[in-house]
Amino acid sequence: MPVLLQTLGTWSRPTAFLERCRARYGARFTIRLLGQPPLVMISDPEEIKQIFLAPPEVLHPGEGARILEPIVGSHSVILLDEGPHLEQRKLMLPAFHGERMQRLSGLIGELTAGEVDSWPLDTPLELHPRLQRLTLEIILRAVFGLERGSRLDSLRELLTRILALSESPLSLLPPPPRLISRFTPMVRFEAMKAQVDELIYGLIEERRDEPSEGEDVLAMLLAATHEDGSPMSAQELRDELMTALVAGHETTASQLSWAFERIAREPRVQERLRAELDSASGDDYMTATINEILRRRPVLPNAEPRLVKEPVEIGGWRYPRGAALLANAYLLHHDPAIYPDPYAFRPERFLENPPGTYTWIPFGGGRRRCLGASFALLEMKIALRTVLDRYSLTPAHPRPERTRRRSITISPADGGRVLLHARSPGPAGADAAAERVASPA
């Protein structure tokens, strides 16, 4: 198929295109997109294990994700490889530790409750833009440490406009020559990015001059030091803050949109979740439900691309320099040999068996597993609890929503449309709900 048609197919029908390729070619196949190296899609668990465990000098995930550099910057942990990646990851890991993330649960619960309480009842409601607004607010408050005020308002507005531009198919293409770029949306993008950088660098300088013991991610990164004892530079801090924003904003908003769209179509699951919430008997079924949502609709259809730097053999196939190997989460998660009846939504499968390291990869795997996984899971759990404590959900349309690509993520084509109906829990249930949102662990 011509490269242009492959690019259009990947953009317009992202999951259907992958499934057609697997049906025709099997567990590994190569697609070619405009401006990209040959992309080898792999969905065999043993081969995925080999990719995740390959020496860092052989496969370079950072170079494979270079398309994100205009937004996240060259010092982003996503774009680094080998030694520099390991050092930067060590600096960031404490800031995203599960216990530290739990300390932010009160703030996340407060912001979530404020957003959810504004949602109208008994009318078709497009959740995706509302969840985008919520996840952006959480990032700005919990990661950047911003309080209400003009700086928060300015950064929110600029970032919303930048992220909207990045949803275009053009964002996946290499930047045009400078002369041409003067007549494209890149001009607006660069101007807005300069304004964002000015605000972020000002915030970093201000926080350096007035150190705090805050629980936000910026406070923790300001306290981090390199192996030689030096602090992170302003450029490093800026790039990692933007990485946290890009990695934790649209991905979580789309994942929650899929969660509510799917739960609205599963009365049995919804009732069991509500019974677990009302009884305050733990959250095993909630955790299993989130695992199943991440299996059924991973918003990143594949793990970070690994660019081949030295010829490597994976699963009996030898790949040359310049190819990019992708562990395809969507195809892996819908393999009937791994997940019987893979298109059915059954959280019970994760009550019976925990997620496998190489068969469940919504956050990638190996030494490149997403640093913000604990943060994303915490956000999802709080959002689901908050909504289900207040409302019951029904679908806005009888047919499930198709997939739509937003830059590198996959979201519901109609924005996750549902209807919310008032729910009146008993006093005990209300008290338990309030306690859970305050302390989701």
**pLDDT bucket at 47, cuts 50 / 70 / 90:** very high
C-alpha separations of 17 from 35, 342, 361, 415 in Å: 19, 17, 20, 20
- Residue 43 has which token pair? 């969905």
Q: Does 171 score more than 60 pLDDT?
A: no
Residue 175: the pLDDT is 57
Find, among 263, 214, 245, 215, the residue nearest to 135 by Cα.
245
Element (H, E) at 270: helix 267-279
- Average pLDDT value for residue range 391-418: 91
Query: Does residue 59 or residue 430 have the better pLDDT?
Result: 59
Q: 121 falls in which pLDDT band (50, 70, 90)?
A: very high
Place of tokens 């009146």: 424
**Closest by alpha carbon to 170, among 156, 181, 155?**
181
Q: At what angle are helices 234-248 and 82-92 packed, to 10 degrees? A: 80
Q: Is the pLDDT of residue 79 over 70?
A: yes
Tell me the residue type at 228.
Answer: D
Q: β-strand 391-395 against 324-327: which pairing, if any? A: unpaired
pLDDT at 427 exceeding the cut of 90: no
Of 191-200, 264-273, 329-338, minimum mean pLDDT range: 191-200
User: Averaged over 352-364, what is the pLDDT?
Assistant: 94
Mean pLDDT lowest for which of 30-39, 210-219, 325-334?
210-219
The residue ranking higher by pLDDT, 149 or 110, is 110
User: Whose structure tokens read 């299996």?
Assistant: 295
Bridge partners of residue 308, in order along the sequence: 59
What's the confidence (pLDDT) of residue 232?
A: 92
Task: Phi first, then psi: give them for residue 438, nearest 5 degrees.
Answer: -70, -30
Q: What per-residue confidence (pLDDT) applies to 431?
A: 45
DSSP states of 380-438: HHHHHHHHHHHEEEEESSSSPPPEEEETTEEEETT--EEEEEE----HHHHHHHHHHHH
**Does residue 164 register a pLDDT over 80?**
no
pLDDT average, residue stretch 80-89: 89
State the pTM of this model. Answer: 0.89
What are the distances in angstroms from CA 112 to CA 106, 117, 284?
Answer: 10, 8, 22
Distances (CA, A) of 87 to 84, 334, 372, 417: 5, 35, 17, 43
pLDDT for position 147 = 79
Q: Which residues of 377-394 are buried (b: 16+ CB within 10 A; e: fewer)?
A: bbbbbbbbbbbbbbbbbe
- Please name each of the domains of the chain with its CATH number: 3-438 (1.10.630.10)
Say what the pLDDT of residue 298 is. 96
Q: Which pLDDT score, from 0 to 100, does residue 170 have?
A: 55
Mean pLDDT (the chain) is: 87
SS (H, E, C) 284-335: HHHHHHHHHHHHHCCCCCECCCEEECCCEEECCEEECCCCEEEEEHHHHHCC
| Residue 437 pLDDT level (bands cut at 50, 70, 90) | very low
CA dist 181 to 36, 188, 193, 380, Å? 19, 10, 15, 38
Task: Say whether pLDDT at 54 is over 70.
Answer: yes
For residues 147, 148, 150 and 153, what is the CA-based torsion angle, rounded to 10 degrees? 100
Nearest-5° angle of CA 387, CA 102, CA 362? Answer: 70
pLDDT greater at residue 81 or residue 406 = 81
Arithmetic mean of pLDDT, 223-244: 90
Chain CA centroid to CA 308, Å: 25
How would you class 343 by CB atoms within 10 Å of its CB: exposed for 0-12, middle for 13-18, buried for 19 or more? Answer: exposed
For the chain, give me the number of helices (H) and strands (E)? 21, 12
pLDDT band at 73 (very low <50, low <70, confident <90, very high): confident
Name the range with the highest mean pLDDT among 60-69, 212-221, 320-329.
320-329
CB-CB neighbours of 180 under 10 Å: 10
User: In this predicted structure, which of 212-226, 235-249, 401-415, 417-431 has the lowest mean pLDDT?
Assistant: 417-431
Q: Answer yes or no: is pLDDT of 441 > 90.
A: no
Which helix (H) or strand (E) covers residue 260, if one does?
A: helix 250-263
- Summarize the confidence of residues 107-125 as an average pLDDT: 95
Residue labelled with tokens 């109906």: 421
Q: What's the average model confidence in pLDDT over 315-328? A: 95
For 234, counting Cβ atoms within 10 Å of its Cβ (0-12 exposed, 13-18 middle, 19+ buried), the class is middle
Round to whole Å and give the CA distance between 359 and 30.
Answer: 21
In sequence order, what are the residues at sequence separation of 6 or more whose Cβ sits closer than 8 angstroms to the Cβ of residue 266? 345
Query: Quick one: average pLDDT of 62-70?
Result: 80
Position 429 confidence tier, pLDDT thresholds 50, 70, 90 = very low
Give the pLDDT mean for 187-210: 86
Residues 60-71 have a mean pLDDT of 82
**What is the token pair recorded at 434?**
């309030």
Q: Which residue has the tokens 């609709």?
A: 297
Full DSSP string of 227-240 = TTSPBPPHHHHHHH
Tokens of 212: 């705090």
